[in-house]
Chain A
Amino acid sequence: MNAALRNSLRFRLIVGSAILVTIAIMIAGLFIANLYQIHTTERFRSELDHHLEELVALIELGPDGGRQVRQPLSDPLFHFDGSGLYWQIDQAGHPPLRSRSLGRNLLIARPDDAAWADSTAGAEPVLQRTQVVNGPGGARLAVTIASARRLLEAQVDQFHPDLAWSMAILALLMIGGAAALVRFGLKPVHRLGDQVDQLRRGEIGRLDQRVPAEVEPVVVRLNQLLDGQAQLIARARTESGNLAHHLRTPLALIADEAEQLRLTGHEASADFLLARCDAMRRHIDYHLTRAAAAGTRGAGTMTEVAPLVGQIVAAMERLHLARAIEIRAEIAPGMMLACESGDLAEILSNLIDNGCKWARSRVTIQGEGTRIAVSDDGPGIPIERRADAVAVGVRLDSATPGTGLGLAATRDLLQFYDAALQLDAAPEGGLLAVISFRPAARQ
């Protein structure tokens, strides 16, 4: 049994219920068995009392002055040797009168005690009672009726297995019932778990607060946490955007001042300043993209890919209009990725724009499952230079516009989502860039 199962609330409740039900059923079983024994003994005694009354009524004066029983008792067990039902009539001065079932045995009459008592008939334990009556002719008679203990025990023993089975079935039904009750009782907790999963997959933005009172405080606080997180993300994005703005504007002025220096003949100084400005711009882009993305990690939003790709493709067609690049997008209907839409836009735009810059005539975007492939029919990147393509600030060809940070930023963004970027050779000859996300469900 693993630790997770042992720690589960359901397991604890069910095992606890099972133990309690078993103990309760065992106590109830013992109690019922005891009651049955008492009841059976009472009934037994009552029957023997009837036999005793019948016997007393049948006693008559015999020809020898002794007493005799006018006719056999109604219960045939009195007539078979060792049957277990016995009677005996003792009269002073006369041999005891006995039922045929006693055989050679004798009951030990207790004329001083009318209560039921344990005794023996020969070696056999019996339950017996002696009643002193005045018989016909006024003689005092001690009339004893007895039953072998085994007859009573046989009846009780016959009941015990039935009782045990009944109790076992009852226990099982009660444990099953307890399990069903636990399941029913914990349903809101399970529903909450499902909702948290949905939240993580981005299918819902908040938890449903229509929950039992016991769970409500948790749900309310989780929703507050989510709101807080959303505000933090929004603030992080705004702050990083503002920071970019405030850094780039003075940088633009410095770059322009450098251009002015060039015009006045200070070309070396101008080149030095412009190179540093470019490096600063690249690092601003790179680190702010990372900072903005880091804020969204764990937000768990899902983004529908097709509409986003549609927007990016429309923008890219406009951007690369002069080169008449054909951009073909084949995205599986309803495809969703566990990535915040702004981040996914950043990743895909970088890849598609990169494809468009290098393509001769066509860029293809294919998306299915958790994977999107962007390929072009351009020159591609040789295997030995592919690692450089995702390095910070490296441009493989300075003739093609771009900061050289696109793929590095894309790779870093993907890392925030535990997704991967793989560069390969496209069938049409250019670069094939594949991004693979983890499956959305049950991450």
Chain B
Amino acid sequence: MRILLVEDGAELARRMVANLTRHGMTCEWLTTAEDAEGFAGDGFTAMVVDIGLPGMSGIELVRRLRARAIATPILILTARGSWQEKVEGLNAGADDFIVKPVRVEELVARLHALARRAAGHSGTRLMAGSLALDPASGEAWLADAPLALTASEFRLLQLLLYNAGRTLTRQAIIDGLYRIDTDRDANAIEVLVGRLRRKIGRERIATMRGLGYRLSA
């Protein structure tokens, strides 16, 4: 899961990024709505936007992204906790809100729920054929048999399941699994896809020549 966090409080943001990363998410962090507006269309699974940003407010950012038809699920962060602000945020196009102080488990659960909903999954598990994955518990199954996956394999399978039936470019997979400011090796993706194929069946992940990979729905 690739998350864009827009939060101006450095200490809080640093901790949130660390927490989300610990829960297997790839989290990019920006401090202003203006920066986020230019970066938001870059294939994020979900966005976490603080309402009280300096300059353009979080609500205005949400409004502008929706006006640009960017459908990425957005969770707004509010420190004031008033319903008026929440209603305004939701009507601007946000999908959910969370009031500071944020509990990590709650934030992670909300983000998973938003991502599942956006990907068209109704239950708590992500499903594609006989494949199933529970983002909250970190477990995956093939025909009801538990799969033994490494953290990277689990995150790749989760990314593919969120995009089941759609072709993901190598770049999108790199962005989804690794933060921009880390060493990112395109060859590592091929190795990772190969390992996952061995565990879930080669035919499930199709290589689209010159384009990327697709998990059959």
Binding site for B on A (CB under 8 A): 241, 244-245, 248-249, 251-256, 259, 263, 274, 277, 281, 284-285, 288-289, 292, 311-312, 314-316, 318-319, 321-322, 342, 345-346, 349-350, 353, 401
Contact = CB atoms under 8 A, between A and B. Distances in A.
Given A252-B12, A256-B104, A274-B103, A322 B113 contact: yes
Contact of B91 (A244, A263, A289, A315): A315
B29 to A, nearest CB: 15
Contact of A350 (B16, B83, B102, B103): B83
Main secondary structure on A side of the interface with B: helix
Nearest to A259: B104
Given A255-B103, A342-B84, A345-B83, A249 B95 contact: no
Contacts of A251: 100-101
B90 interface: yes
Interface stretch (B35-43, B74-82, B158-166): B74-82
B130 interface: no
B184 interface: no
Given A251-B100, A274-B103, A345 B87 contact: yes
Interface of B: 9, 11-12, 15-16, 19, 22, 52, 79-84, 86-87, 90-91, 94-97, 99-104, 106, 113, 117, 122
Contacts of A241: 80, 82
A281 B90 CA distance: 22
Contacts of B16: 256
A312 B87 contact: yes
Given A251-B101, A349-B83, A350-B83, A319 B96 contact: yes
Contacts of A254: 101
Nearest to B109: A401
B79 A249 contact: yes
Nearest to B11: A253
Given A245-B80, A252-B101, A253-B11, A311 B122 contact: no
Given A248-B100, A255-B103, A345-B84, A322 B79 contact: no
Contacts of B96: 319
Nearest to A243: B80
Nearest to A348: B83
Please give me the 5 A-B residue pairs with the lowest Cβ-Cβ distance, nearest first: A252-B101, A349-B83, A315-B90, A245-B79, A248-B100
Contacts of A244: 79-81
A33 to B, nearest CB: 78
B91 A314 contact: yes
Contacts of B90: 314-316, 318-319
Nearest to A349: B83
B101 A248 contact: yes
A301 B149 CA distance: 61
B95 to A, nearest CB: 6
B183 to A, nearest CB: 25
Given A251-B100, A322-B122, A311 B82 contact: no
